[in-house]
Amino acid sequence: MLDPTRPVDVSPEPGLSSPRLPRAVPILTVWLRDLIISLAISAFIIIFLYQPVKVEGTSMMPSLDDQERIFVNKFVYRLEPIQRGDIVVFRYPRDPSKSYIKRVIGLAGDRIRIVAGQVFVNDRPLEEDYVPSEYDDLRTYGEVVVPANSYYVLGDHRTMSNDSRDFGPVSQAFIYGKAVFGYWPMDKLGRLR
C-alpha cells in the first residue's frame, strides 16, 4: 500500500534507460519547419511581388543584354502610376502568350512622332541618354496620339526592336510588371534605369 506522505520513486529499473527520441528527430523537425516557411515566403514573393526573368533578344541593348537575368516587380503599379522612362514587361498584343520588355516613351494623351530617329513627345524632343548613337534608327514615323489607358513603348536598340512603331500603343491591361533589378551576369548587378 502506498503512503501518500511518502515520495514515490519513479526512476527506471537499473539497466533500463528512459524512452527518449533520438536527438536527430527534433533537429530534423525544426529544419523541415524552417524549409517549409522559407518556401512559402519565396512562393509569395515570386507570385505576388518579384519575378525572376531572363531577357531574350537584343532590343533593349545596351540597357539589357540578351540572356541577362532581371527581377520584375509585379506589384509596383498597384501603388504608383506607370511613368515615362519605366522599363515594363507586358504581354505582346498580337500574341498574349509571349512577353516583351520595352521602355515607356508616351503616356495616355501624348502625341508621339519620330523624325529621322529623333522622338518628339508633344512637339518636344525627348532626351534619351539610354540610346547610344550606334543604336539609333533614322527612320521617320507619323504622329500617333496615345489612347486612354495605353502606353507607347520603344526598345532602346531602335534598329533591332519590334515595338509600338510596329504594333501600336500597349494597353495598360497587358502590362504586368516593371523591370527593377539586374542580378546576372554579376557585372550588370544593380538597379535598372
The three three-digit cell numbers of residue 162, written as one number: 519590334
Model confidence, pTM: 0.78
Q: Specify if 116 maps to a domain.
A: yes
Let me know the angle formed at the C-alpha of 163 by 159 and 168, rounded to the nearest 5 degrees: 135
Whether 38 is catalytic:
no
Task: State the CATH number of the domain containing residue 176.
Answer: 2.10.109.10
- What is the span of the domain harbouring residue 170? 50-191
- For residue 125, say if its preceding peptide bond is cis, omega within 30 degrees of 0: no
User: Quick one: DSSP state of residue 38?
Assistant: H
Residue 151 near residue 169, CB atoms below 8 Å: yes
Q: Specify if 167 maps to a domain.
A: yes
In 3D space, the residue among 143, 126, 36 whose CA is nearest the CA of residue 85 turns out to be 126
User: Alpha-carbon Rg of the chain, whole angstroms?
Assistant: 29
Q: Specify if 39 maps to a domain.
A: no
- Residue type, position 149, single letter: N
pLDDT tens-place values along the chain, 193 residues long = 556 566 555 555 555 555 565 666 788 888 899 999 998 888 877 777 888 899 999 999 999 999 999 999 999 999 999 999 999 999 999 999 999 999 999 999 999 999 999 999 999 999 999 999 999 999 999 999 999 999 999 999 999 999 999 999 999 999 999 999 999 999 988 888 8
Distance of CA 145 to the CA centre of its chain: 28
- Structural domains of the chain, count: 1
Residue 105 near residue 131, CB atoms below 8 Å: no
Look-up of cell digits 527581377: 71
Q: Specify if 40 maps to a domain.
A: no
Q: Specify if 18 maps to a domain.
A: no
Q: Sign of torsion, CA 97 148 192 39?
A: negative
pLDDT of residue 4: 59
Whether 161 is catalytic:
no
pLDDT of residue 19: 57
Let me know the angle formed at the C-alpha of 149 by 139 and 136, rounded to the nearest 5 degrees: 20
pLDDT of residue 109: 98
Q: Specify if 17 maps to a domain.
A: no
pLDDT of residue 170: 98
* Residue among 63, 74, 102, 178 flagged as catalytic: 102
pLDDT of residue 45: 75
